[in-house]
Amino acid sequence: MCGRYYVNDETAREIEKLIRQMDEKRRQESIKAIGRIAAGDIHPGKDAPVLSGKGGSIHCGWQRWGLPGFQGKKLIFNARCESALEKSLFWDSILHRRIVVPAAWFYEWNPQKEKNTFTRKDTPILFMAGFSRYYEDGEHFVILTTAANPSMKPVHERMPLILEREEIADWMLDDTKTEAMLHKIPCLLERRSDYEQISLF
């Protein structure tokens, strides 16, 4: 679930709005990271812009999507909200290195392998909850998934844990709210596809 998403210039502009209030040094670091954003799909194994909480403020930097799999197995790029705190590979990162993954939209394929695009109607950007872990080659991140809401269920049983703009700082900076936010129900999304006419939620 959630194996590809898209970023564009609008994603960069929305990230910049979030980091405007930071101190000058961190703001300049983030602006450099934002400047690297080019429109295109992001898939596991690729570097991508993420938001993290450092020094009590929001910072934008680049990390690689996916943790190395055990014994050469495939990348681990999603983690289930319901069980992530029970997994030794994940729990410390969720407790101490939570991040937010911005995207214009994400894709999901139904059982017939038909592609669907999911966006928000009320804002040009999605904020997906995740966490990171440090390896010798740098920081890697994972996107958290939860049970599908009604807008996602026709296509897939899982979906990314999507945060509201006002929840971003709490997710990254307030450890006391982590567990409750892992159980939140994401907002309804708009679905588009090339193979059928879709009614909007």
Mean pLDDT of the 63-70 span: 91
Instruction: Quote the pLDDT of residue 119.
Output: 97
Cα 2 to Cα 86: distance, rounded to the nearest angstrom: 21
Q: How many CA within 13 A on the CB side of residue 49?
A: 30
Instruction: Quote the pLDDT of residue 82.
Output: 96
Instruction: Quote the pLDDT of residue 199.
Output: 44
Reported confidence tier of residue 34, pLDDT bands at 50, 70, 90 = very high
- Write the CATH number of the domain with boundaries 5-193: 3.90.1680.10
Reported confidence tier of residue 201, pLDDT bands at 50, 70, 90 = very low
Beta bridge partners of 71: none
Query: Tell me: the pLDDT tens digits for 133-185?
Result: 999 999 999 999 999 999 999 999 999 999 999 999 999 999 999 999 999 99
Computed over every residue of the chain, the mean pLDDT equals: 90
Task: Say yes or no to pLDDT of 124 above 90.
Answer: yes
Reported confidence tier of residue 72, pLDDT bands at 50, 70, 90 = low
The whole-model pTM stands at: 0.92
User: Which range is least confidently modeled, 95-109, 168-182, 184-198?
Assistant: 184-198
User: Which range is least confidently modeled, 6-10, 29-33, 40-44, 99-103?
Assistant: 29-33
Q: What are phi and psi of 139, to 5 degrees?
A: -85, 140
Task: Say yes or no to pLDDT of 128 above 70.
Answer: yes
Domains of the chain, residue spans: 5-193
Q: Where are the beta strands (DSSP E) in 94-189?
A: 98-103, 105-109, 115-119, 126-135, 138-147, 158-160, 162-163
Q: Pick 90 or 201 by higher pLDDT.
A: 90
Cα 46 to Cα 54: distance, rounded to the nearest angstrom: 23
Instruction: Quote the pLDDT of residue 22.
Output: 62
